[in-house]
Chains A and B, each alone.
Chain A
Amino acid sequence: MSYLIWALLILAPLLLAGLSQAGGAVAGRGPQRTMWLWIAGVVGFAALMIAPHLVTYSQQELLVFLVINILIVASYRLLTLTGEFSLAHVVIVGVGAYGSALLTKQVGVPVPIAMLLGAAIAGLVAFILSFPLFRMKGFYFLIGSFAAGEVIRLLWKRFREPFGGPKGIKLIPEFPGFELFGIPFEFYEPVTFYYFALIIVGLSLWLLWRIENSRIGLTFHAVHWQDQLADSLGVNTRRYRTLAFVIASVFAGLAGALLAHYLGTINPNRFDVDEMVYVLIWVIVGGTATLWGPIVGLIVLTVINEVILRELNVDELRPLFYGAILILAMLFLPSGLETLPRKIKERFSRDKKAADAVELTTSQ
């Protein structure tokens, strides 16, 4: 049963990715596409709602981290809309985590407010970083962002006060529990936190989707694909890159705050370049053409790595399998898993056309 749930959790965003691609790649346009969108949406929503009750205890924990990671990859994709790939995104997640943790532990700010402030701090840090970083583009921005991220991470390690040094911060207060109609809601319980995170992440995804489909989002695309043309039309491309960076960072910071208050501990190594590589892998394997691409990449690779390979009890060999899967994905789906529905459709169309041609030839 748990495998069925994982399969649905993969299929729903995959279908949504196929339906969201330009030109109605999978289901054409009009009522048919709308119907499929509704089906995928309902299946996805239903799977998300019942998932924690059909998986094991440890997979409930996994679901929590999966939902938080969805926000990380989705926010990262917003930045990639402008054509820039950053290596500081996970550090920005850490900024939100540290910000929220410190506000609750040292200032006594209530957790919900601290989480929002942590997200705001992440956005502010991104805004400050944007001044040196957006003097660069492409590969230079990538390297610059890595350097900026490392500076922040090393500051966490260097200053025991207030950041806790290499050991980081422990015993971070959890989201306060409450009782509703006599039912206790304790946020150290993975199921409770899962639904809480799901609401936060769901709202965030909706906001990200609205931003992408607004005039601002279209300008992000223009900055990516035709930045010189956009410049010539009076679009301040640097300002839009900064805007994308800041918005992505606010949501990344929110993800960090969720992580900090669920996990109860953070340290600089949790936000190092190794973690950033995972985010890049999820995003690239999933694809960045649609909002759903990175989410597909994340869920597929997480399920393979954390569910299937763990159940096969081949812990020591997981990196080898993981590497092989990545290579295969890049070889056969270079534009990401999100193109899989379109490729399947094309394959079936080709088969159908070939069959029709054969039928036509034989009938003549």
Chain B
Amino acid sequence: MAMRHLNRRHFLGTSAAVGASALTGVGRPGKANADNETIKIGFLAPLTGDVAAWGLPGLYGCEIWADDHNTMGGVEIGGTMYNIEIVSFDNEYLPDKAKTGATKLIKEDGVKFIQMLGGDTWPAVQPIANREKMLVSTLLPSDLSPDTPYLVAPAEVHPIYNVTGVWWMAENMPDVKTTVICGQDDAIGRPSVATYQAAFEAHGITVNDTIFFDISTTDFAPVVTSMLSSNPDCLCLDTAYAEFVNELCKQAYEQGYKGKIISCTADFYADIIANTSEEFMEGMIFQFPDFDDPALNDPRINFGDPNGFFKTYNEKHPGEWGAVSWEYASILDLWLSGAQKAGSVEPEAVLEGMKDGGIGAHAFGEANWWGEELFGIDNALVGNWPVVQIQNGKAVIVEFKSIPDWWDQHKDIMIKKFEDMGEMWYQRS
């Protein structure tokens, strides 16, 4: 996951880069095979506005993925060679624009698969996706329910993977006994808080307090002051948007905090280090690796050439790498393997191919299609997830942890916390 606001500097930099690339042709797709047929894949996510960093870096990743495959001669599905074309629509994280975008992608562009961030925008797309039997992916499994048979969460099982960070912390930092959680009061923050509460309880770490703040918050000094008032061993920043993580860390640094920090994301962590210090950020735990990490060269990793992808990404979009940069691209890997298995690009066939045998090749290793107990439908791909730590100013994968293993041991706690937060699928309006 990433951030709510592209700050002005970041936005202008991005816009300038986009403008420059539009003018110069840098970042344009390479030469595709003209004899191939074309499959269009929809990208329906926020590219502008408050949640742009949850979409735009992912679009860049998808374009690189498509470019790589097209340059290599295209992809073979059911005996036919295809080029991949990514068709994007900026939904601005608004339901009405998402509905318009879904209509355009399905009825005008003829896409065979739509990638979404999900969240607030999914309910507006759900009726049309169900009517058209369109395969859609989300990064937020909390969108899943028995009413969403064509929606899958094949890359990110937010927020369940957050348990792995707490698990690792409990094993490797036994001095951490207390924590305070803060999170934005929204559809992403709340289930994440429930997850962290469950994980801390499961591993014997006391949660002194849980603080929700509104997404319009700009001054985090009172939030951090409140968090520090109980003198916790660890600050948990939940799945706060990147801008919030940055501000929260800055405030904690300025208010003299010396303990541990755990967070779902630490996007643009170099900026956070610049705003605080390398020493302050040392040891921070989060869940999203840089893809130049040597640990990703393990043969069990299913993401093709992660180091090369990271290098290309940073060449084309310097400074833009974030949590979602690889996620949408990894979903394309799964979609492709599903289509190849089905021998068809038709959405229903691809869905069957993807879920064939109940096992899928998740980016971080083989994983199971799972979720009925938590989401009411087995449409989330769950397996291992990396625990990442900042060491000497760099994100490093310290271990891969198994989410299913944790779930088998502690699912009762998780379900209880989700129910307390009103986040179980049967509690949603």
Interface residues of A (CB under 8 A from B): 56-58, 60-62, 65, 105, 154, 157, 160, 164-171, 188, 190, 259, 263-267, 269-270, 272-274, 306, 310, 314-320
Contacts and interface: CB of A to CB of B under 8 A. Distances in A.
A57 B190 contact: no
Contacts of B93: 269
Contacts of B127: 188, 264
Given A56-B108, A169-B429, A274-B50, A154 B101 contact: no
B47 interface: yes
B108 A263 contact: no
Which 3 residue pairs spanning A and B have beta carbons closest together?
A: A58-B104, A265-B123, A164-B429
A166 B95 contact: no
Interface stretch (B14-22, B275-283, B330-338, B384-392): B14-22
Given A58-B101, A65-B100, A263-B96, 11 more contacts: A57-B108, A157-B185, A165-B190, A169-B429, A263-B99, A263-B124, A264-B126, A265-B95, A270-B120, A315-B89, A316-B90
Contacts of B49: 274, 319
A316 B100 contact: no
Nearest to B48: A319
Contacts of B48: 315-316, 318-319
A269 B88 contact: no
| Secondary structure call for the A interface | helix
A164 B47 CA distance: 27
A65 to B, nearest CB: 5
7 contacts: A58-B108, A61-B100, A164-B428, A166-B187, A264-B127, A274-B49, A310-B90
A165 B103 contact: no
A315 B47 contact: yes
| Interface majority SS (helix, strand, loop, mixed), chain B | helix
B123 A264 contact: yes
A154 B120 contact: no
A263 B101 CA distance: 13
Nearest to A154: B214
A310 B186 CA distance: 29
Contacts of A267: 95, 120, 187
A105 B428 CA distance: 13
B203 to A, nearest CB: 27
B190 A166 contact: yes
Contacts of A320: 15
Contact of A314 (B22, B120, B422): B22
A173 B422 CA distance: 22
Contacts of A167: 120, 187, 428-429
B9 interface: no
Nearest to B106: A57
Given A263-B96, A265-B124, A316-B56, A170 B107 contact: no
B18 A168 contact: no
A138 to B, nearest CB: 24
Contacts of A190: 103
Given A264-B123, A315-B47, A317-B19, A259 B187 contact: no
A318 B90 contact: yes
Contact of A269 (B19, B89, B100, B120): B120
B26 interface: no
Nearest to A101: B429
Contacts of B50: 274
B274 interface: no
Contacts of A188: 127, 131
Nearest to A267: B120
Contacts of A318: 48, 90
Interface in B244-303: none
Central interface residue in A265, A272, A317, by most chain B CB within 10 Å:
A265
Contact of B103 (A61, A265, A306): A61
Contact of B422 (A160, A263, A269, A274): A160
Interface string B204-240: 0000000000111000000000000000000000000
B107 A58 contact: yes
Given A167-B120, A169-B429, A264-B123, A57 B107 contact: yes
A216 B124 CA distance: 40
Contacts of A316: 14-15, 18, 47-48, 56, 90
Contacts of A61: 96, 99-100, 103
B216 A273 contact: yes
B94 interface: yes
B227 to A, nearest CB: 21
B46 to A, nearest CB: 10
B100 A58 contact: yes
From A60, A154, A160, name the one whose CB has the most chain B CB atoms within 10 angstroms: A160
